[in-house]
Structure 1
């Protein structure tokens, strides 16, 4: 049977108090309790009725409630077993709760083809999970969109444009075969406990992958280039096999700095790496 609707469930603060759920700093937890705000986040991917949703780190289930209320079938993965009784209280046959580490989860086990990933990501694993989802060997990926809460600084790095301080590896990896935008900014006061920084929700949708470029090459290239971002490429890339020859093949000036290259230029250089290494 389906569980209670949003109006019938006890307030989240009451559930948290009853189960003694203090947010764990070690797990990067900050609970979001404003149901109207959570409803707005759940609406970002579009109509979820009957759709498949994967949520990481649901905590006491605030966002989970909003996703269920939107009509979705939701699978959550939670590391913190203290939260499991609170999630069990939702008592909804459209909810599947898995105790485990999201970094070790295989998407086919938790998300139907064409489903959405929606999560207020734990701060300490958010970036690693994003890179994992963006680096899928199969593209287009299993997910139709990612709607993810990050620290605002991380969110701005994901959507950053060239020639900006925030532009770096994350922007290139997000931009090479997807489109990312900041869908909503969230004040620190919305969380319990309030984090020291502001947050933002990033919405990412996949697009066609450029031909002939491997994620491993792009990742190695951006790691080297932005590892010494203030240096010219001829310096920052000299330790990466084939990189300087790849610059020459693509006509990218080795006197430039990493932050001046467009995503398309990084993709072109990464595509040339295998040829340059012959």
Structure 2
């Protein structure tokens, strides 16, 4: 790493600037980047998938931690800077030019891999939902360490009876553990975004038996799509849902935000039978 020029110098030499259209914000603080790379634990010789590396700030930190990195970047302006980094770390960094939303991550990676990414703001939630939505469990990824807008991060770790609690919390918590690992001030980025950011760390846990992920998603979509309405109204369009509430002795006058993750799982289990 000592032979590499400072990242700011690389960015200037290649004439790079963060693209608002791509939701980019660059990080240059090496100490901060090393702290982010440390969140998932020991990465020595671990396979890591990074989405949207940009000029490679977090990529450098992951490589310093000993990881073998596959980085997916759709901004072709950044590819020359990443190619220089790949040359400095032979066989340790593979750069794939493409759209992470359109690629099969499991096909690209080994049997097990960690995901570590400063996610572009415009696709972060969609990617997160995709990683957590598969019927097959446990997934091929061993952990997700992701930078979100702080508001989104809080929705991932939210608890019932709070304004942040919703579909994202249920999705993240019903068969995984999710925690807020660290907050990142807006001033750490170039250019500074209008909002604060935070790192969320998610690890898969044992999946409750007899539950379909697709059915759970349908229930939460209906319930939180009309979150101010009582369950007897919001779940009316889901076949069997009101009967499941009765079986579980869940008051139909409650609202979605008052139900625990376990209660949503119980409803889904009955409808999955």
TM score, norm. by length of structure 2: 0.97
**What do residues 179-227 of structure 1 show as CA deviations (whole Å, max 9, x unaligned)?**
0000010000000110000000000000000011111111111111011
Q: Distance in 1 between matches of 2:171 and 2:177?
A: 10
Which residue in the other structure is 1:70 paired with?
65
* Count of equivalent residues: 270
Which residue in the other structure is 1:256 paired with?
254
Note the 1:16-35 alignment, pairs <5 A: 16-35=11-30
The correspondence for 2:217, drawn from 191, 216, 219, is 219
Note the 1:48-67 alignment, pairs <5 A: 48-67=43-62
TM score, norm. by length of structure 1: 0.95
Query: How many angstroms does 1:110 deviate by?
Result: 2.7
The correspondence for 2:267, drawn from 262, 266, 269, is 269
In structure 2, the residue corresponding to 1:103 is in which secondary structure? coil
Q: Considering only aligned residues, what root-mean-square deviation do their CA atoms show, in Å?
A: 1.0
Q: Distance in 1 between matches of 2:201 and 2:117?
A: 11
Q: Distance in 2 between matches of 1:250 and 1:54?
A: 41
Query: How many angstroms does 1:178 deviate by?
Result: 0.1
Query: How many angstroms does 1:34 deviate by?
Result: 0.7
Query: How many angstroms does 1:8 deviate by?
Result: 2.3
- Structure 1 residue ranges without an equivalent (≥5): none
- Structure 2 residue ranges without an equivalent (≥5): none
In structure 2, the residue corresponding to 1:131 is in which secondary structure? helix
Q: Which moved more, 1:112-121 or 1:204-213?
A: 112-121
In the alignment, does 2:130 pair up with 1:125? no
Q: Distance in 2 between matches of 1:21 and 1:128?
A: 26
Check whether the contact 2:118–2:146 (CA below 8 A) recurs between aligned residues.
Answer: yes
Which residue in the other structure is 1:8 paired with?
3
Q: Which moved more, 1:108-117 or 1:262-271?
A: 108-117
In the alignment, does 2:139 pair up with 1:141? yes
Which residue in the other structure is 2:232 paired with?
234
Check whether the contact 2:49–2:71 (CA below 8 A) recurs between aligned residues.
Answer: yes
Q: Distance in 2 between matches of 1:123 and 1:153?
A: 12
Check whether the contact 2:156–2:168 (CA below 8 A) recurs between aligned residues.
Answer: yes
The correspondence for 2:166, drawn from 165, 168, 177, is 168
Q: Distance in 2 between matches of 1:89 and 1:137?
A: 39
